[in-house]
Amino acid sequence: MSQRSKKISYQEFLHREYELHHAPFQPERDFYETIRSGDMKKLSSLLSEPFHKKEGLGVLSKDPLSNLKYHLTITIAMIARYCLSDGMSLAEAYSLSDYFIRLTDEAGSPEELSEIHKEMCQSYAQRMQKIKRGAITSKAIHTCINYIYEHLHTRITVATLSEISNLSAPYLSRLFKKETGYTISGYIQAKKMETAKAMLSSSDYSIAEISASLAFPSQSYFTNLLKKDTGLTPKQYRDRYAGHITPEE
């Protein structure tokens, strides 16, 4: 598999639902920003209007219930992406979105969709509130973490992170450990494994494609890491967890 196909494979997974949407209007952006900021008080007031009574929704289906389902699916995908961009892990963002999209698909009434919408917004906002309370304060480490998330499909080095953060490698390594509790290499590996597990449980990419898309040295190396982490091979992990991810209580 070429480097180009590796990158596309990873990016397709990362943005698989995001690309469904039309560009939102400013009020919708403000709504997403409220969830991303974890502002539960403001969110409560914004949720006073039921989703199924919201005005201005475009016509994506002639069937009214299907139309609402499509719009709610787009909203879920957008919120997942907003939260992902500001610190929520890929695994958590997509496990929540997959869970609520399944509920949306199974809903039988507009009122039920409104309840799903409310629960989904609150679930994301509550998690973002926790993330904000324990947020990284150093700009340099925040820059490094953002770079890591955007480049999981490549081999990320301390030298590269040192360059983009304008810190020496030894100082960056000490600061990173102090603020995250991880070594740099340990953090990168943890995030790659977290992403690999999300891909195994919520996509149909082959094990070889997942391994290549996250720049593991080989499929056997990836298999050994996963087995060490979970006690399961990639196939066993997929068989056990595919379709069984639910949000935390």
Distance CA 71, CA 69 (A): 5
Residue 168 has pLDDT above 90, yes or no: yes
The token pair at 194 is 């977290």
Could you tell me the end-to-end alpha-carbon distance of the chain, in angstroms, rounded to an integer?
A: 40
Kindly list the structural domains of the chain, giving each domain's residue range(s) and its CATH number in brackets, ordered by start: 8-133 (no CATH), 139-241 (1.10.10.60)
DSSP character for 154?
A: S
Could you read off the pLDDT of 186-200 as tens digits, one per residue?
Answer: 999 998 998 898 888
Could you read off the pLDDT of 45-101 as tens digits, one per residue?
Answer: 999 989 998 877 888 889 999 999 999 999 999 999 889 877 788 778 888 888 899
Using a cut of 0.85, tell me whether the model's pTM lies above it.
Answer: no
One-letter amino acid at 209 equals E
Residues 226, 232, 233, 236, CA torsion sign: negative
Q: Tokens 């400013």, residue? A: 26
Q: How far is CA 54 from the centre of its chain?
A: 26
